[in-house]
């Protein structure tokens, strides 16, 4: 065995050269790896003793992609195209030996080999779409030539990792070799290729599968239509589709040029920048400067939940799904039965949709036990309270928990807005108290705000973050303040949306602008979905707000077919003339002259105050970093990933512009628009949130 460079070795056995990459953790295509590949192949090609060349990787995976930390830097070393040319034009058979995952650039390298073998657990994928890109090293041109247009479309637009067996079926892999015996399996495959004198297929020259799709534009039209909702607003899926179209309709070299052109456009655009930022932000969010990775944690083997309402039930499912036993406590049998039956129904529906086996359903429901007595929680390691949102009720529950639950357990509250420092005073162990703010539906939404109170111990924080990961959430550590991070920022948007309607916009104008920005729905459609009458009663209604007036007219939202909108039997929304009239009367009563409000103003008025509030949150140290706020908004509130979150978006449009607008509105409409000191100082220094350390 001889070293080619720091990450590549070459050895020759029986006329077969084995080029081994070893660049932990994932053999990403860094400059050193590309150089090693180029020099390794050149050296094997030049060696007359070599008849075939196998490329294999050390460690847990084949080349798992580009080295994304090199993005945006000056290129150095051999280019990926050089490497691919050398491999593809080699006169000796080249074989990629795949284990772990061959992803992105890794698969694109494998696609330039004449043959590919893999172990049964290997998977292949082109996941660039997930960071707003497309495979820019021929992946979109070679994959359809090997797997056909339909399969290629699916792979490039979903980024899915396809298991070896499916790869074999579509022709992406030529042979599956025994698990744990990849190198030997690949060498004997190479010998077989030589013995059988198999022709050396260059994927680029294999046109049969793309020719089969030529003249069938409906393949693409149908695919676009079927995925319209999922891809809405995103550029990358559409550009990936266009590349496959190019592969079908153009000669290879021209298709490659088109792929390059579209790749560069994505790479230089703001969507991919946003998606790459989010990719890193999702990893950063787990890092807490004052809580080192080696902070001791409490092993969580049993969880207690108080309240089997909307939230309690969903929260319980998270733990059962992760195999952790849960006990749910309610005050009365009927409430408990109702809560448990909702859980069962949820599981059964998932099973009906084929996403769970009945066996799994049984296993999970068996992990959930109902109870009417708090004493049953005494040996829990973590208790989460999800009772009514009322300080007195919560304090009473925490005082009882303090007396019952073993020392050393985590005592968490799912409150949305109450002061957790105050809740903690009901116990003699405030260090054990923390907020675990789940989002509704709690078994579906990925976000968890972990709310640290004044006295919460580091162990309790570290345990909470760890358990969040275990149940598949993405958690952001935030501080106690009204609404915490997510709802505090939401309140800004809600207030402005309401005001815009008083000033002259219609609810559907506001909703349309925010929908077009990329939110799944606007605030008024959202209110209709949630129910306009949440927290409203006829007796207490003062008829003072728009909502009061609509509820008094029995417009309660989607559930009774009328709210801000009118709904047909399929729940399709239409602007309501009744609502319009109510709004006009409402304005008239207050002497407001409606004015025409532009889409641009709607967007700015809804979004800029959110950015300003985010800055205040940072200034008050209620979030660790700007990107954590973005993670909250992307995972909890439907902020479009391709716009990176409110803070990223603020940097993108320029904080100076946000500040100027806040000042202008402050002078016209008062101090709710008061700019944050942090926003002012960043603008003064010509910096953005991205520059904060």
Ligand X SMILES: NC(=O)c1ccc[n+]([C@@H]2O[C@H](COP(=O)([O-])OP(=O)(O)OC[C@H]3O[C@@H](n4cnc5c(N)ncnc54)[C@H](O)[C@@H]3O)[C@@H](O)[C@H]2O)c1
Tell me which residues are annotated as active site.
Answer: 108, 128
Phi first, then psi, for residue 566 (nearest 5°) are -100, 140
Alpha helix segments (H runs only) across 328-382: 333-352, 358-366
User: Which uninterrupted H or E stretch holds 438?
Assistant: strand 433-438
Min. distance of Cβ 417 from ligand X in angstroms?
7
Window of 66-74, 134-142, 228-236, 305-313 that interacts with ligand X by CB under 6 A? 305-313
SS3 599: helix
DSSP 426: T
Give me the residue label for tokens 């309790």.
460
Q: Which is nearer to ligand X, 213 or 490 (CB)?
A: 490
Window of 197-205, 241-249, 435-443, 621-629 that interacts with ligand X by CB under 6 A? 435-443
| 226's tokens | 């079927």
Min. distance of Cβ 549 from ligand X in angstroms?
24
Min. distance of Cβ 237 from ligand X in angstroms?
31
Q: Which is nearer to ligand X, 79 or 416 (CB)?
A: 416
Q: Which is nearer to ligand X, 418 or 629 (CB)?
A: 418
> Nearest to residue 93, comparing CAs of 181, 190, 192, 19?
190
Min. distance of Cβ 480 from ligand X in angstroms?
14
SS3 332: coil
Class of residue 334 by CB neighbours under 10 A (exposed 0-12, middle 13-18, buried 19+): exposed
- Which of 87, 146, 248, 306 forms a contact with ligand X (CB under 6 A)? 306
Regarding 371 and contact with ligand X (CB under 6 A), the answer is no
Q: Which is nearer to ligand X, 308 or 647 (CB)?
A: 308
State the Cα–Cα distance between residues 373 and 370, nearest whole angstrom: 9
- Which of 163, 309, 518, 575 forms a contact with ligand X (CB under 6 A)? 309
Q: What is the CA radius of gyration of the chain?
A: 29
User: Which uninterrupted H or E stretch holds 575?
Assistant: strand 573-575
Exposed e or buried b per residue across 385-402, where buried means at least 16 C-beta atoms within 10 angstroms of its C-beta: bbbeeeeeebbebbebbb
Window of 220-228, 308-316, 318-326, 520-528 that interacts with ligand X by CB under 6 A? 308-316
List residues bridging with 368 in a β-sheet: 326
Are 323 and 341 in contact by the 8 Å Cβ rule? The answer is no
Window of 164-172, 301-309, 552-560, 561-569 that interacts with ligand X by CB under 6 A? 301-309
Q: Which is nearer to ligand X, 331 or 677 (CB)?
A: 331
Min. distance of Cβ 334 from ligand X in angstroms?
9
Q: Which is nearer to ligand X, 53 or 311 (CB)?
A: 311
- Which of 96, 308, 461, 546 forms a contact with ligand X (CB under 6 A)? 308
Min. distance of Cβ 450 from ligand X in angstroms?
14
Window of 268-276, 309-317, 464-472, 515-523 that interacts with ligand X by CB under 6 A? 309-317
Regarding 71 and contact with ligand X (CB under 6 A), the answer is no
| 243's tokens | 């590349």
State the Cα–Cα distance between residues 490 and 612, nearest whole angstrom: 12
Regarding 312 and contact with ligand X (CB under 6 A), the answer is yes
Residue 301 CB partners (closer than 8 Å, separation 6+): 324, 325, 381
The angle at the Cα of 468, spanning 472 to 67, to the nearest 5 degrees, equals 60
Min. distance of Cβ 449 from ligand X in angstroms?
9
Min. distance of Cβ 489 from ligand X in angstroms?
15
Q: Which is nearer to ligand X, 447 or 546 (CB)?
A: 447
Are 415 and 606 in contact by the 8 Å Cβ rule? The answer is no
| 460's tokens | 């309790």
Site string for ligand X, 323-362 (x = CB under 6 A): ------xxx---x---------------------------
| 251's tokens | 């000669």
> Nearest to residue 170, comparing CAs of 116, 133, 244?
116
User: Which uninterrupted H or E stretch holds 102?
Assistant: strand 101-103
User: Which uninterrupted H or E stretch holds 19?
Assistant: strand 16-21
Which 398-417 positions form the footprint of ligand X (CB under 6 A)?
414-416
SS3 627: helix
- The site that binds ligand X (CB under 6 A) totals a number of residues, namely 23
Q: How far apart are the first and last CA of the chain?
A: 46
List residues bridging with 94 in a β-sheet: 53
Q: Which is nearer to ligand X, 65 or 307 (CB)?
A: 307
Q: Which is nearer to ligand X, 71 or 388 (CB)?
A: 388
Q: Which is nearer to ligand X, 222 or 396 (CB)?
A: 396
Which 450-479 positions form the footprint of ligand X (CB under 6 A)?
none
Window of 307-315, 537-545, 558-566, 664-672 that interacts with ligand X by CB under 6 A? 307-315
Q: Which is nearer to ligand X, 133 or 329 (CB)?
A: 329
- Which of 217, 388, 560, 687 forms a contact with ligand X (CB under 6 A)? 388
DSSP 26: T
State the Cα–Cα distance between residues 379 and 575, nearest whole angstrom: 54
Min. distance of Cβ 596 from ligand X in angstroms?
35
State the Cα–Cα distance between residues 56 and 64, nearest whole angstrom: 12
Window of 176-184, 185-193, 267-275, 384-392 that interacts with ligand X by CB under 6 A? 384-392
Regarding 533 and contact with ligand X (CB under 6 A), the answer is no
- Which of 126, 155, 235, 387 forms a contact with ligand X (CB under 6 A)? 387
Window of 188-196, 340-348, 386-394, 467-475 that interacts with ligand X by CB under 6 A? 386-394
Are 631 and 285 in contact by the 8 Å Cβ rule? The answer is yes
Regarding 635 and contact with ligand X (CB under 6 A), the answer is no
Q: Which residue is nearest to ligand X (CB)?
A: 309
Residues that bind ligand X (CB under 6 A): 306-312, 329-331, 335, 386-389, 393, 397, 414-416, 438-440
């Amino acid at each position: 065995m001889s070293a080619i460079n720091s990450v590549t070795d070459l050895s020759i056995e029986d006329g077969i050269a084995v080029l081994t990459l070893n660049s932990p953790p994932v053999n990403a295509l860094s400059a050193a790896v590309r150089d090693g590949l180029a020099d390794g192949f050149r050296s094997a090609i030049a060696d007359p003793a070599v008849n075939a060349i196998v490329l294999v990787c050390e460690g847990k995976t084949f080349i798992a992609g580009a080295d994304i930390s090199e993005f945006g830097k000056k290129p150095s070393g051999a280019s990926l195209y050089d490497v691919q040319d050398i491999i593809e034009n080699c006169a000796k058979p080249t074989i990629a030996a795949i284990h772990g995952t061959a992803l992105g650039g890794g698969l694109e390298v494998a696609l330039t080999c004449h043959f590919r073998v893999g172990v049964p657990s290997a998977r292949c994928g082109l996941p660039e779409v997930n960071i707003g890109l497309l495979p820019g090293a021929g992946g979109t041109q070679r994959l359809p030539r090997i797997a056909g247009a339909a399969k290629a479309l699916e792979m490039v637009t979903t980024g899915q990792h396809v298991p070896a067996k499916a790869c074999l079926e579509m022709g992406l892999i030529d042979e599956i070799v025994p698990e744990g015996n990849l190198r030997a399996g690949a060498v004997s495959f190479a010998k077989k290729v030589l013995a059988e004198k198999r022709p050396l297929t260059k994927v680029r020259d294999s046109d049969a599968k793309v020719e089969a799709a030529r003249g069938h534009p409906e393949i693409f039209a149908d695919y676009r239509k079927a995925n319209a909702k999922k891809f809405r607003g995103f550029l990358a899926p559409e550009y990936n589709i266009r590349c496959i179209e190019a592969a079908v309709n153009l000669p290879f070299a021209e298709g490659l040029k088109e792929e390059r052109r579209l790749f560069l456009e994505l790479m230089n655009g703001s969507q991919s920048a946003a998606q790459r930022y989010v990719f890193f932000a999702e990893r950063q969010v787990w890092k807490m400067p004052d809580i080192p990775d080696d902070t001791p944690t409490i092993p969580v083997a049993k969880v207690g939940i108080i309240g089997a309402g909307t939230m309690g039930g969903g929260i319980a499912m998270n733990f059962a799904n992760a195999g952790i036993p849960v006990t749910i406590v309610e005050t009365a049998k009927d409430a408990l039965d109702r809560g448990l039956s909702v859980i069962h129904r949820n599981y059964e529906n998932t099973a009906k949709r084929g996403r769970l086996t009945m066996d799994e359903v049984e296993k999970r429901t068996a992990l959930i036990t109902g109870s009417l007595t708090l004493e049953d929680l005494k040996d829990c390691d973590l208790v989460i309270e999800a009772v009514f949102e009322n300080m007195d009720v919560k304090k009473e529950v925490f005082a009882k928990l303090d007396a019952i639950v073993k020392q050393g357990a985590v005592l968490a509250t799912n409150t949305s807005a109450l002061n957790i420092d105050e809740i903690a005073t009901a116990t003699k162990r405030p260090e054990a108290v923390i907020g675990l703010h789940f989002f509704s539906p709690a078994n579906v939404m990925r976000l968890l705000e972990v709310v640290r109170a004044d006295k919460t111990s580091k162990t309790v924080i570290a345990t909470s973050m760890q358990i969040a990961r275990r149940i598949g959430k993405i958690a952001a550590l935030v501080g106690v303040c009204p609404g915490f991070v997510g709802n505090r920022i939401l309140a800004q948007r809600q207030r402005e949306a309401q005001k815009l309607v008083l000033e002259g916009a219609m609810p559907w104008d506001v909703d349309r602008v925010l929908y077009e920005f990329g939110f799944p729905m606007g605030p008024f459609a959202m209110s209709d979905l949630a129910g306009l009458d949440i927290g409203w009663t006829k007796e207490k209604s003062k008829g003072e707000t728009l909502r009061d007036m609509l509820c008094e007219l029995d417009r309660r939202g989607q559930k009774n077919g009328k709210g801000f909108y009118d709904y047909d039997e399929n729940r399709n929304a239409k602007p309501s003339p009744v609502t319009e009239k109510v709004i006009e009367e409402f304005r008239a009563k207050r002497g407001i002259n409606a004015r025409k409000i532009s889409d641009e103003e709607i967007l700015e008025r809804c979004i800029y105050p959110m950015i300003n509030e985010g800055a205040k949150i940072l200034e008050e140290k209620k979030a660790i970093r700007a990107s954590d706020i973005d993670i909250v908004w992307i995972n909890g509130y439907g902020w479009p990933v391709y716009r990176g979150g409110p803070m990223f978006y603020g940097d993108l449009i320029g904080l100076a512009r946000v500040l100027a607008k806040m000042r202008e509105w402050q002078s016209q409409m008062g101090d709710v628009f008061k700019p944050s000191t942090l926003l002012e100082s960043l603008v003064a220094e010509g910096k953005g949130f991205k520059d904060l350390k």
